[in-house]
């Protein structure tokens, strides 16, 4: 994606209106979300690792695993993609390759976090963070490694759960000074903590809305009033898909047939069109054997 083509996410986040980005985790979820005119999609690490590998988001997926998912999702969508880059998949040289790889794969922003390796989901207990100086260095490498300044760096701190809110705020301030474009203080545990975060910074802030997680899930107006610019909903889609699959497979197991199932289904013809079979038919008409 060239500089001319890349959407100006920085300018959009400067507006007072909240940007809402649904979590996508595979080609199907991305295709469906792409039809709904969101301003951005968010490639969730948790959901992508679960979908692609059937494994927990615990530092098991590699850079190669994830940059391939970025390329597939960004390449198959017209909606701009913000992508989870975990810890950068190693040391400072790895961070450089990760930033360059995600940018080349078509993302408009990368999220990097200050957890120790192996990392964990941001709403799990037991997360540990690297020394603040190490993450500052990662951010400096990240900002200097991008080809296009409109490719944004999101700096996430996971310090709140183990070290408290004050330490999380201290780290976010340091990351802002190091050049991060967007700040992400993960898993505040009350609306008052979210309000404190919003009052503390004048950079764009990420709200991570995880149903069943450690942070209160609130409405759009409240997030705007609290000072957030970007709300990601990483789990909403895969939790809904997981429950729907559980129900249809249980019905199939019990009855030996899909007859009588009560879960709403995407029409097969519409789904086939969504996946691109209409283009395949047109191709066959042009180039197929007569």
25 within some domain: yes
Residue pair 171/157 in contact by the 8 Å Cβ criterion: yes
Beta-carbon count within 10 A of 261 CB: 14
Would you say residue 2 lies in a domain?
no
151 backbone dihedrals φ, ψ, rounded to 5° = -80, 115
* 219 and 260 within one domain: no
- Residue whose pair of structure tokens reads 């609290």 in the numeric block: 226
**228 in a domain, yes or no?**
yes
Same domain, 176 and 257: no
pLDDT bracket for residue 4 (50, 70, 90): very low
* Pair 123, 226 in one domain: yes
Residue 38 is assigned to a structural domain of this protein: yes
Give the pLDDT confidence score for residue 117 in this predicted structure.
Answer: 82
In the prediction, which pLDDT does 5 show? Answer: 64
Instruction: Let me know whether 128 and 263 are in one domain.
Output: no
Q: Indicate whether 147 and 275 sit together in one domain.
A: no
Sequence-ordered alpha helix ranges (H) in the chain: 9-13, 27-34, 45-53, 63-75, 92-105, 132-145, 159-163, 165-178, 191-200, 220-226, 236-255, 268-274, 277-287
Q: Strand, helix or coil at 218? A: coil
Residues spanned by the domain of 144: 9-241
- Indicate the residue among 205, 220, 241 that finishes a domain: 241
Does one domain contain both 168 and 123?
yes
Residues 261 and 197 in one domain: no
Q: Are residues 125 and 264 in the same domain?
A: no
Phi first, then psi: what are they for 126, rounded to 5°? 85, 10
Whether residues 180 and 283 fall in one domain: no
- Rounded to whole angstroms, how far apart are CA atoms 282 and 7? 31
In a domain, 124, yes or no: yes
- The answer to whether 213 and 235 have CB atoms below 8 angstroms apart is yes
Q: Are 38 and 135 in a shared domain?
A: yes
Instruction: Specify the CATH number for the domain of residue 211.
Output: 3.20.20.60
The reported pLDDT for the residue numbered 92 is 97
**Per-residue pLDDT band at 16 (split at 50, 70, 90):** confident
Among the listed residues 116, 186, 110, the one whose alpha carbon sits nearest the alpha carbon of residue 148: 110
Query: What's the confidence (pLDDT) of residue 169?
Result: 98
Model confidence, pTM: 0.94
* DSSP percent split of the chain into helix, strand, coil, nearest 5: 45, 15, 40
Residue 144 lies in a domain: yes
236 and 257 housed in the same domain: no
Q: Do 230 and 280 lie in a common domain?
A: no
Asked whether residue 98 is domain-assigned, the answer is yes
Report d(CA 129, CA 116) in Å as an integer.
5
Look at residue 48 in the predicted model and tell me its pLDDT.
97
Whether 229 is covered by a domain: the verdict is: yes
Question: How many distinct structural domains can be found in the chain?
Answer: 2
């Amino acid at each position: 994606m060239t500089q001319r083509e890349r959407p100006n996410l920085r300018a959009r986040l400067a507006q007072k209106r909240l940007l809402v980005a649904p979590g996508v985790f595979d080609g199907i979820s991305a295709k469906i979300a792409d039809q709904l005119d969101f301003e951005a999609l968010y490639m969730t690490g948790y959901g992508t690792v679960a979908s692609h590998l059937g494994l927990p988001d615990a530092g098991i997926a590699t850079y190669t695993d994830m940059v391939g998912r970025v390329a597939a999702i960004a390449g198959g969508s017209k909606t701009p993609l913000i992508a989870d880059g975990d810890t950068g998949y190693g040391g400072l040289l790895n961070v450089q390759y990760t930033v360059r790889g995600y940018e080349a794969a078509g993302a408009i922003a990368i999220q990097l976090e200050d957890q120790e390796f192996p990392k964990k989901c941001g709403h799990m207990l037991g997360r540990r963070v690297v020394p603040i100086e190490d993450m500052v260095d990662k951010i400096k490498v990240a900002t200097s490694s991008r080809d296009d300044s409109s490719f944004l760096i999101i700096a996430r701190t996971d310090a709140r759960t183990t070290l408290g809110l004050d330490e999380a705020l201290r780290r976010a301030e340091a990351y802002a000074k190091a050049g991060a474009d967007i700040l992400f203080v993960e898993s505040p545990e009350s609306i008052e903590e979210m309000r404190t975060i919003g009052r503390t910074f004048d950079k764009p802030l990420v709200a991570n809305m995880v149903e069943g997680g450690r942070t209160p899930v609130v409405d759009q107006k409240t997030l705007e009033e609290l000072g957030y610019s970007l709300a990601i909903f990483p789990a909403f889609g895969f939790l809904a898909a997981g429950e729907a699959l559980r129900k249809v497979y249980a019905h199939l197991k019990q009855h030996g047939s899909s007859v009588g199932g009560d879960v709403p289904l995407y029409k097969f013809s519409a789904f086939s069109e969504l996946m691109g079979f209409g283009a395949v038919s047109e191709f066959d008409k042009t180039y197929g054997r007569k």
